[in-house]
Amino acid sequence: MTFSAAKTGLLEWVDNRIDQLSDWHQLIFEHGETAWREYRSSAWYSERLRAEGFTVETGSGGMPTAFCAEWNNGDGPTIGGYAEYDAVPGNCQAADTLQRPREGLNVHAGGHTDPHSALGISALGGFLAAKAMMEKHGIGGRLKFFGEPAEKVRGSKPIHAARGYYDDLDAAISFHPFYMLPLCNTTRWNTHCGVAYAMIYSFECDSPESWQSQGSDADSPIAAAHAAARAPGANDALMQMYQTSKALKEHMVSAGCGWSMNECILTAGQATADNLPAQIAQIQYLMRVPTIEMAERITSILDRNAAAAASISHCGWRRDWVCKSRQGLANHALAQATWDNLQAIGAPRFNQGAARDKAREIQRNLGLEPMDNPFLAETEQLITPQAAETELRRELPDWQQHFTSDDYTEFCWHAPTVRLYIARPTLASPQAGFKYPAWVMNALGGIRETIEPMIDCASKTIGCTVIDLLDDGETLAAARQEFEQRTGGGIGGSLWQAPLCDYDPPIDFRWPEYVTTERGREWWIPGQ
């Protein structure tokens, strides 16, 4: 593949700015902000994009930590991309070769795992590099770059999609650091991510005095005498819901289709040991399934479980949506074009220089003999989209068309979309069956020397694909034609799946976050 002058210049731009991109990544990694509470990260991106000449709408879609940035260079296609920047509670690891939390925080604080910090900076680097080449070579078109919070709960993209933010895109590029083989240094072909539903069930005991209207306290002027039997209350309802849903999990959907359902209990702030029943308790579920029908089936069972738990605990209940995201839609034309750029650029290189030294230091600190080539071999190898698809399908039944979940799939129904995976730094096992502790992957995603090869490769691949879509009419025309065919006519077509989002942004729940008190800024769970 011969690069055009614009794409050659783009590669040079990334080479010249890679130190700055790494600096930016360090900022986002250190913020470590979690779903719906990424205030500093979102503000940084908004300010950076304005400084680069973009106009920025903050709070897009009614989400305080989302944004929509645009830059126009005259007539031409509109190409979309995005940053994610949400971290995960309980994964506070410093960018270090030893296990320790980030400075001034405890281990329960948020931290980047995938890492979304590098995901966002890589995408930003690609779009800024493309912008520079558009200006230099007079390439017309519009760049639309989104801030997408709360991906870990599949939060923002269904809302952006339902509110029309993606409708004017001609194509979109979705990038994610690799998280499983064989999807490493490749693009996704047929089997895209599936459906994700997430919801919060709230139980409220708002009239505990009516639990028993007879007994030893029947004539007491006090509504609930301290010695009387009390209503079970919201905590009991939540535990009934939790246990029932665990017990019935295998009956919610047939086994063997790669589905999962996870839950977390939200804190309601009732830290008391008094004998009053808990008034409110909340539990969140997030399911990952191949089809909408499966998600609806599981939801109906969860609803029945909630109703049963509430009825025996003297509570009311309600369900609030956090996410309803659609399954992905393939686009071979765009996947191939992106792959062609990646193949010409080459896979990232980890087993050399400072990255290799840092990896060996981690192994030494774990009591292991440092390896000559400490990084997983696959992280430095390319695999064609078609070969990756064949490997992925080995574990799936023939009928299943989608696997795992990520809400990039929302873009797929509004414009041709590619899903790109570039290797993140991953250590090779010194012996069969050995697994590194989880902090190691988190640390490697933050250490400048180890994550920089991924940022470099991803920025270049994304940027070159943007240039192709703007400057090579055949690439975009083929992608648009395929999109029209797969949707039966584009947005609103006979095969098109409309947004499932029919709810407001779930921003007012008690999501984990950093707080500022008289003690200073700290994570919401105290360190002691």
Q: What is the dihedral of CA 73, 79, 84, 85, to 10 degrees?
A: -10
* pLDDT, greater one: 210 or 384: 384
The residue type at 406: D
Least confident of 97-101, 197-201, 322-326, 508-512: 508-512
**How much of the chain exceeds pLDDT 70, in percent?**
95
Structural domains in the chain plus CATH codes: 5-192+328-487 (3.40.630.10), 196-213+228-325 (3.30.70.360)
Least confident of 166-170, 265-269, 402-406: 265-269
pLDDT per residue as tens digits for the range 14-72: 999 999 999 999 999 999 999 999 999 999 999 999 999 999 999 999 999 999 999 99
Does position 338 have pLDDT exceeding 60, yes or no?
A: yes
- In this structure, the strands spanning 55-58 and 280-289 are unpaired
Most confident of 400-404, 409-413, 509-513: 409-413
**Contacting residues for 460 by C-beta, under 8 A, at least 6 apart:** 10, 11, 14, 126, 129, 341, 345
Specify the DSSP element, H or E, that contains 33.
Answer: none
pLDDT-derived band at 254, boundaries 50, 70, 90: confident
Task: Determine the pLDDT at residue 270.
Answer: 65
DSSP helix, strand, coil percent of the chain (3-state; round to 5) = 40, 15, 45
When pLDDT is averaged across residues 344-356 and rounded to a whole number, the result is 97
The two structure tokens encoding residue 315: 């509570």
Task: Determine the pLDDT at residue 182.
Answer: 97
CA distance 467 to 298: 43
pLDDT-derived band at 2, boundaries 50, 70, 90: confident
**How much of the chain exceeds pLDDT 90, in percent?**
84
pLDDT-derived band at 528, boundaries 50, 70, 90: low
**Contacting residues for 115 by C-beta, under 8 A, at least 6 apart:** 29, 177, 424, 442, 445, 446, 451
What distances in angstroms separate CA 12 from CA 7, 191, 450, one per listed residue? 9, 34, 21
Does position 229 have pLDDT exceeding 80, yes or no?
A: no
Task: Determine the pLDDT at residue 452.
Answer: 98
Helices 39-51 and 5-31: crossing angle in degrees, nearest 10, is 150
Task: Determine the pLDDT at residue 271.
Answer: 59
CA distance 424 to 417: 22
pLDDT per residue as tens digits for the range 237-247: 999 999 999 88
CA distance 214 to 490: 64
What distances in angstroms separate CA 82 from CA 90, 144, 172, 342, 429, one per listed residue? 25, 8, 9, 19, 33
Least confident of 265-279, 344-358, 368-382, 495-509: 265-279
How many CB atoms are located within 10 Å of the residue 276 CB? 15
The alpha carbons of the chain give a radius of gyration, in whole angstroms, of 25
When pLDDT is averaged across residues 118-130 and rounded to a whole number, the result is 98
Does position 213 have pLDDT exceeding 70, yes or no?
A: no
CA distance 355 to 448: 8
Task: Determine the pLDDT at residue 231.
Answer: 84
pLDDT-derived band at 370, boundaries 50, 70, 90: very high
Q: What is residue 237's three-state secondary structure? A: helix
The contacts found for 434-443 with CB under 8 angstroms, 24 or more apart, are 436/366, 437/99, 437/366, 438/91, 438/113, 439/93, 439/99, 440/362, 440/366, 441/113, 442/91, 442/93, 442/111, 442/112, 442/113, 442/115, 443/93, 443/94, 443/95, 443/96, 443/97, 443/99, 443/362
Task: Determine the pLDDT at residue 133.
Answer: 98
Task: Determine contact, residues 430/359, Cβ cutoff 8 Å.
Answer: no
CA distance 361 to 97: 6
Task: Determine the pLDDT at residue 216.
Answer: 52
| Site of tokens 């590669």 | 11
Task: Determine the pLDDT at residue 519.
Answer: 82
* pLDDT, greater one: 60 or 223: 60
When pLDDT is averaged across residues 301-313 and rounded to a whole number, the result is 96
pLDDT-derived band at 230, boundaries 50, 70, 90: confident
To the nearest whole number, what is the mean pLDDT of the chain? 94
When pLDDT is averaged across residues 363-380 and rounded to a whole number, the result is 97
